[in-house]
Amino acid sequence: MENHTKEKLQDPTMQVSSLNCIDLANDDLHRSVVSLKQACLDCGFFYVINHGISEELMEDVFEQSKKFFALPLEEKMKVLRNEKHRGYTPVLDEILDPENQVIGDHKEGYYIGIEVPKDDPDYDKPFYGPNPWPDYDVLPRWRETMEKYHQEALRVSKVIGRLLALALDLDANYFDTPEMLGKPIATMRLLHYQGVSDPSKGIYACGAHSDYGMMTLLATDGVMGLQICKDKNAKPQKWEYVPAIKGAYIVNLGDMLERWSNGFFKSTLHRVLGNGQERYSIPFFVEPNHECLVECLPTCKSESNVPKYPAIKCSTYLTQRYKETHAELSIYNQEI
């Protein structure tokens, strides 16, 4: 039996969450690690400031993203998402919370991963491969801007990865090996939200979910919309807005880190509500290498705290999660 328990509209006085803020330029490493650890135990969401990505690059990447989404649908369908999960995802393509959504997410997107050339031994693996790019004559500065941003965001992810390792009592460079963040699956996604959400009707800009990978670095245009639910088992669930801070990333932990850490670190439920204003965001999803076996970390188990999750290969886990949440590509065949 279907269980469409639709949420009543929340009190219009908005609940706003306050999150810890990690300053990557702070010399007091110990303090940063303590603050990060607390955030990871509490809700798995925190802000990151002084990450070294310039305001110009941020503005540029948002500007190029807006230009792409402003193109006619026909042009965008030329770079439709492929089987390697790269490219354009049309409105409603994804449904993140099928139990509570009557229709797919009111957002369109564009996945960009690490460019893996045809002669690379990893080329055949899902999630690796070349990216489709919009026509150079239509958007000449697009590819260059996206590749630059991808590179920079990956650099920041590795810095945060070292703090996370310390917070887990591991060596700082634990995640830096080629099996983990040395050659990761790292996917940025341009998102464009439109429309008004109505939880009481099961309509969402982005349905409630937790992210799949290790962590996500989220940049937004400042338009309110992201909400988190710190206790998914609470009835009713309490949703709090996470406001953007200019120049800061909103970082959240994903399910793979929850599994790695034996549930010690939290990957928290979140969603996006549309208020009628257009909203652009860019999550940067960080997952370890395709072949990485995600299994309980040595510091997160003991005789009295045995591993709660079976070990699983990163690509197997990701493939499953994408399949559960995206439309079959074949539905687009007739429309192209």
Residues at the interface with ligand OGA (CB under 6 A): 191, 206, 211, 218, 220, 225-226, 270, 272, 281, 283
Q: Which does 190 bind (CB under 5 to 8 A by kind): Ni ion, ligand OGA, none?
A: none
Smallest gap from Cβ 148 to ligand OGA, in A, equals 21
The answer to whether the CB of 132 falls within 8 A of the CB of 79 is yes
Look at residue 206 and give the partner it binds from Ni ion, ligand OGA, none, a contact being a CB closer than 5 to 8 Å depending on partner kind.
ligand OGA
| 287 contacts Ni ion (rule: CB under 5 A) | no
Cβ proximity to ligand OGA: between 154 and 170 the closer is: 154
Whether the CA torsion 19, 25, 26, 32 is positive or negative: it is: positive
Q: Which does 294 bind (CB under 5 to 8 A by kind): ligand OGA, Ni ion, none?
A: none
C-beta closer to ligand OGA: residue 226 or 248: 226
Closest distance to ligand OGA from the beta carbon of 109 (Å): 8
Beta-carbon count within 10 A of 42 CB: 15
Among Ni ion, ligand OGA, none, residue 221 binds (CB under 5-8 Å by kind):
none
CB 300 within 8 A of CB 262: yes
Closer residue to ligand OGA, CB minimum distance, 165 or 208: 208
Residue closest to ligand OGA, measured at CB: 281
**Least distance to Ni ion, CB of residue 123, Å:** 28
Number of residues interacting with Ni ion: please give it, by CB under 5 A. 1
Distance CA 316, CA 164 (A): 24
Contacts of residue 269, Cβ cutoff 8 Å, sequence gap at least 6: 208, 209, 210, 228, 229, 232, 237
> HSE on the CB side for 131, CA within 13 Å?
21
Q: How far is the CB of 226 from Ni ion (least distance, A)?
A: 9
CB 245 within 8 Å of CB 20: no
- Compute the radius of gyration of the chain from its Cα atoms: 19
In the chain, the N- to C-terminal Cα span, in Å, equals 36
Instruction: Return the bridge partners of 115, or none.
Output: 129
β 21-23/45-49 pair status? parallel
In this complex, which beta carbon is closest to ligand OGA, that of residue 252 or of residue 262? 252
> How far apart are alpha carbons 256 and 64 in whole angstroms?
31
Q: Which does 274 bind (CB under 5 to 8 A by kind): ligand OGA, Ni ion, none?
A: none
Separation of alpha carbons 177 and 289, rounded Å: 9
Site for Ni ion in 174-233 (CB under 5 A): 211
- Contact partner at residue 90 from ligand OGA, Ni ion, none, CB < 5 to 8 Å by partner kind: none
Tokens at 175, concatenated: 């995640």
CA 218 → CA 202, 226, 319, distances in Å?
A: 25, 10, 22
134 binds, among Ni ion, ligand OGA, none (CB under 5 to 8 A by kind): none
- Shortest gap between Cβ of 169 and ligand OGA (angstroms)? 28
Smallest distance from Ni ion to CB 252, Å? 7
Nearest approach, Cβ of residue 234 and ligand OGA (Å): 20
Residues that bind Ni ion (CB under 5 A): 211
